[in-house]
Structure 1
Amino acid sequence: MTLVVNLLLVLHLVGWAMVLGGVLAHMKKPVVPVGALHGILTALVTGILMAGLLHAMPDEHPNDVKFAVKFVVALVVAGLVIVGRRTPAKVTAGFLGMIAGLVVLNVGIAVLWS
């Protein structure tokens, strides 16, 4: 079970990297790339699966508040990415910066909140 959780963690981090890399690469010509959409969906699905599996493991004691905060941030990022994909006219460098900042916040919460 630990191997599955670790594989999901790798995919989760790859999803966040896709979002962050995609929006940073498009700062000059502000557009939300389709890779960011795929990345956030990957991060959301793998995060939910990881949380479920960690709760099913008897020797793990996951922090539910941390998971809830990370999930809310991920939903906000997903909403921004979806809005950016549907209405490209609203996308500015600040819009992309907000997405990038929230991605860094979510990764920071994962690493620094014990």
Structure 2
Amino acid sequence: MDIVFGILLVLHLLGWAVVLGGTVVNLRTPAIAKGVLHGVLTALVTGIALAGIASSGSDDDAPSPAKLAVKLVVALVVTGLVVVGTRRPEKVTTGYLGAIAGLTVTNVAVAVLWR
């Protein structure tokens, strides 16, 4: 199960990297890059799978339910912003992309700093 967890973790991190990179690259000409939607969906699905695997172990190793809830809400907000920005590109501004990038960094920070 450690191998599956490791593979999912790599895919999860790559998904968030695509979201952050694709967003930062397009800050000058506000638009959602095509790969950002795929990255956020990859991060969301693998994050849910990681939470399930991590929670199925012993109670000592299980992540905090509050941490998982915060990360899920932030991931859902980022996913919603990306989906809306993809379907309605006229709504995408520099601030809109800044919100996506900021929330992505927030999600990573919560993962790393919340112990």
Specify if TM > 0.5.
yes
Match of 1:74 in 2: 75
One-letter identity of the residue aligned with 1:13: L
Contact between 2:31 and 2:89, CA under 8 Å: does it hold in 1? Answer: yes
Within-5 A mapping of 1:10-89: 10-58=10-58, 60-89=61-90
Per the alignment, in what secondary structure is the counterpart of residue 83 of structure 2?
A: helix
Contact between 2:18 and 2:36, CA under 8 Å: does it hold in 1? Answer: yes
Match of 1:8 in 2: 8
Under a length normalisation based on structure 2, what TM-score does the superposition of the two structures give? 0.95
State how far apart, in whole Å, the 2-side matches of 1:89 and 1:70 are. Answer: 28
Is 1:96 aligned to residue 97 of structure 2?
yes
One-letter identity of the residue aligned with 1:64: P
Kindly state the Cα deviation for residue 96 of structure 1 after the two structures are TM-superposed: 0.3
Unpaired runs of at least 5, structure 2? none
One-letter identity of the residue aligned with 2:83: I
One-letter identity of the residue aligned with 1:84: G
Unpaired runs of at least 5, structure 1? none
State how far apart, in whole Å, the 2-side matches of 1:34 and 1:63 are. Answer: 33
State how far apart, in whole Å, the 1-side matches of 2:61 and 2:3 are. Answer: 14
Q: Percent identity?
A: 58
One-letter identity of the residue aligned with 1:99: I
Runs (4+) off by over 4 Å? none
State how far apart, in whole Å, the 2-side matches of 1:75 and 1:82 are. Answer: 10
Aligned residues: 114
State how far apart, in whole Å, the 2-side matches of 1:78 and 1:31 are. Answer: 15
Under a length normalisation based on structure 1, what TM-score does the superposition of the two structures give? 0.96
State how far apart, in whole Å, the 2-side matches of 1:53 and 1:13 are. Answer: 16
